[in-house]
Structure 1
Amino acid sequence: MVVTPAGLRFRGRRLACTVGRGGVRADKREGDGATPSGVHRIVGMLYRPDRMARPADWAVPIRPRDLWCDDPRHADYNLMARAPLDASAERLMRPDPLYDLVILTGWNWPHAERGRGSAIFIHRWRRPGAPTEGCVGLDPRDLRWMARRIGFGTRLVVRG
Structure 2
Amino acid sequence: MTPQDLVLTPRGIRFMGRTFPAAIGKGGLRADKREGDGATPRGIHCIAGLYYRPDRLLPPAPWARPIGPDDLWSDDPADPAYNTHVRAPHAFSHERLRRADPLYDIVLTTDWNWPVATPGRGSAIFLHSWRKPRHPTEGCIAFRRDHLAWIAPQAAPGTRLIVP
Question: TM-score interval w.r.t. the shorter chain?
Answer: over 0.9
Q: Percent identity?
A: 57
2:3 paired with 1:3:
no
- Distance in structure 2 (CA, Å) of the matches to 1:13 and 1:66: 32
> Which residue identity does 1:38 align to in structure 2?
G
> Which residue identity does 2:50 align to in structure 1?
M
Residue in 2 that maps onto 1:141: 146
Residue in 2 that maps onto 1:64: 69
Residue in 2 that maps onto 1:22: 27
2:132 paired with 1:127:
yes
Counterpart mapping for 1:144-159 below 5 A: 144-159=149-164
Residue in 2 that maps onto 1:81: 86
- Distance in structure 1 (CA, Å) of the matches to 2:18 and 2:77: 37
Q: Deviations over 1:69-104 (max 9, x none)?
A: 000001110000001111000011001101000000
> Which residue identity does 2:136 align to in structure 1?
P
> Which residue identity does 2:153 align to in structure 1?
R
Instruction: Say which of 47, 52, 73 aligns to 2:52.
Output: 47
Question: Helix, strand or coil: the match of 1:142?
Answer: helix
Question: Helix, strand or coil: the match of 1:146?
Answer: helix
| Structure 1 residue ranges (4+ consecutive) displaced by more than 3 angstroms after TM superposition | none
Instruction: Say which of 115, 122, 147 aligns to 1:117.
Output: 122
Q: Please, which runs of 5 or more residues in structure 1 have no aligned partner?
A: none
TM-score, normalised on structure 2?
Answer: 0.96
- Distance in structure 1 (CA, Å) of the matches to 2:72 and 2:12: 29
Structural RMSD (CA): 0.5
Q: Deviations over 1:39-70 (max 9, x none)?
A: 00000000000000000000000000000000
Q: Please, which runs of 5 or more residues in structure 2 have no aligned partner?
A: 1-5
TM-score, normalised on structure 1?
Answer: 0.98
Count the aligned residue pairs.
159
Residue in 2 that maps onto 1:97: 102
Question: Helix, strand or coil: the match of 1:17?
Answer: coil
